[in-house]
Amino acid sequence: MSDSNEHELLIKTPKQLIYAVVAAFVIPIFVIILLAYYVSSSEKPAAGSNAFSEESIAARLAPVGTVDFVDANAPKVLKTGEQVYAAACAACHTAGAAGAPKTGDQGQWSARLSKGFDTLWQNAVNGIGAMPAKGGNSDLDDIEVARAVAYMGKQVGADFVAPEPAAPAAEAPAAEQAAEAAK
């Protein structure tokens, strides 16, 4: 068998004992000091702030986006020219991005206005140069695009009038014709 004892002590000299005792006191004290510093240095809301008010908490927990359900068969509510401009056109035409004429700048619009409303309208519907069709919003109706073109034209003094949508076909005469055909 073996002459070695399986249960030897880790501390064999008085010097090792002193080191172990000092380490047993110093290390926990050092850890406590670090934890106290960590807790005390974190940013806390100032006195009188509303960080924990119901409104602030609700705002932080509010969803990023929403989903609106609408009836697909409901008639579309057409936007005004100003609404379409704000939603689809203003991003480029306010700053003049990618060569877009700035809204209200008579000098940049004069050559375009001389081509007439219909040409400007078709360019807006189909896209031209860096401008995508319908300003990148394919959900826009052609009438809404026409209203936006008229709105931007009026900003530089043009007397454009956007066409109105066609009146809906009368359903009563169609129903009468169907009833007569059934006889």
For residues 123 and 25, what is the distance between their CA atoms, to the nearest angstrom? 81
Task: Place 147 in a pLDDT band, splitting at 50, 70 and 90.
Answer: confident
pLDDT in tens, 61-79: 998 888 888 888 888 888 8
Is the pLDDT confidence value at 85 over 90? no
Which structure tokens are listed for 75? 């008639």
For residues 76 and 82, what is the distance between their CA atoms, to the nearest angstrom? 17
Task: Place 179 in a pLDDT band, splitting at 50, 70 and 90.
Answer: low
Q: pTM here?
A: 0.53
pLDDT in tens, 5-34: 677 788 889 999 999 999 999 999 999 999
Task: Place 4 in a pLDDT band, splitting at 50, 70 and 90.
Answer: low
For residues 36 and 20, what is the distance between their CA atoms, to the nearest angstrom? 25
Q: What is the structure's pLDDT at 23? A: 94
Contact 103, 93 (CB under 8 A): yes
Cα-Cα-Cα-Cα dihedral sign, residues 89, 93, 98, 99: positive
Average pLDDT over residues 118-138: 85
Q: What is the structure's pLDDT at 30? A: 95
Q: 65 phi and psi, to 5 degrees?
A: -135, 170
Per-domain boundaries in the chain = 11-40, 81-155
Contact 147, 77 (CB under 8 A): no
The DSSP output letter for 87 is I
Other beta carbons within 10 angstroms of residue 133's beta carbon come to: 15
Q: What is the structure's pLDDT at 72? A: 83
Task: Place 180 in a pLDDT band, splitting at 50, 70 and 90.
Answer: low
pLDDT in tens, 167-177: 665 554 555 55
Q: Which CATH superfamily is domain 81-155 in?
A: Cytochrome c-like domain (1.10.760.10)
Which structure tokens are listed for 60? 């932080």
H/E element holding 100? none
Task: Place 40 in a pLDDT band, splitting at 50, 70 and 90.
Answer: confident
H/E element holding 130? none
Contact 124, 141 (CB under 8 A): no
Q: What is the structure's pLDDT at 27? A: 96
* SS3 state of residue 39: helix
H/E element holding 152? helix 142-155
